[in-house]
Structure 1
Amino acid sequence: MQAIFWTVEEVAQRAKLFYDNGIRQQVECDDNIGKMIVIDAKTGEYGIDKTGVETALKLKQKKPNARLFTMRIGYKDIS
């Protein structure tokens, strides 16, 4: 499988598009506020946990070349 060569900014932009166009409505609830979401910028696959570490490891195990983006749920993006 060929590696994807995206800049950090491209990874962030793609992941935020997935988040804004569907994931947000599914995950922004009281139980998840403050948790970390890790999004695969290519597929939109994501996972949620307290620190993001477990989810990132699981996603990387499934797809070693995945380009992942992590953000805190329910907090304003300052970028």
Structure 2
Amino acid sequence: MQALFWTVEEVAQRAKEFYENGIRQQVEHGDNLGKMIVIDAETGEYGIDQSGVESGLKLKQKNPNARLFTMRIGYDVAVTFGHAPMLRTVE
């Protein structure tokens, strides 16, 4: 499937489906809570680190056209500015 033409909403939906259908059970435990997970919305590959930057770079090295989605493990909001969430995790 060609990821170049997906909307932001489609990338988020696909990544959340990967998360709910298998990734969540593997990563939501004490050591990972609060860390960032970056998911390739096309392949389901993911990486985890404190900021998401290293994982995102590694996934982009594998596939420069990857459509990545980032969320904080175990929390509803990954980043906030004022009172409005900028990135949301799986609901």
- Shorter-chain TM-score range: over 0.9
Higher relative contact order (CA 8 A, sep 6+): 1
Which has more strand, going by share of residues? 2
Aligned to 1:33: 33
Instruction: Give the aligned CA root-mean-square deviation in angstroms.
Output: 1.5
* Runs of 4+ residues over 6 Å off in structure 1: none
TM-score (norm 1): 0.92
TM-score (norm 2): 0.81
Aligned to 1:17: 17
CA distance in 1, matches of 2:32, 2:41: 20
Determine helix, strand or coil for the equivalent of 2:4: coil
Aligned to 1:56: 56
Offset, 1:78: 7.5
CA distance in 1, matches of 2:17, 2:37: 14
Name the count of aligned residue pairs. Answer: 78
**Seq. identity, %:** 79
List gaps (5 residues or longer) in structure 1: none
Offset, 1:70: 0.2
8 Å Cα contact 2:3-2:67 kept in structure 1: no
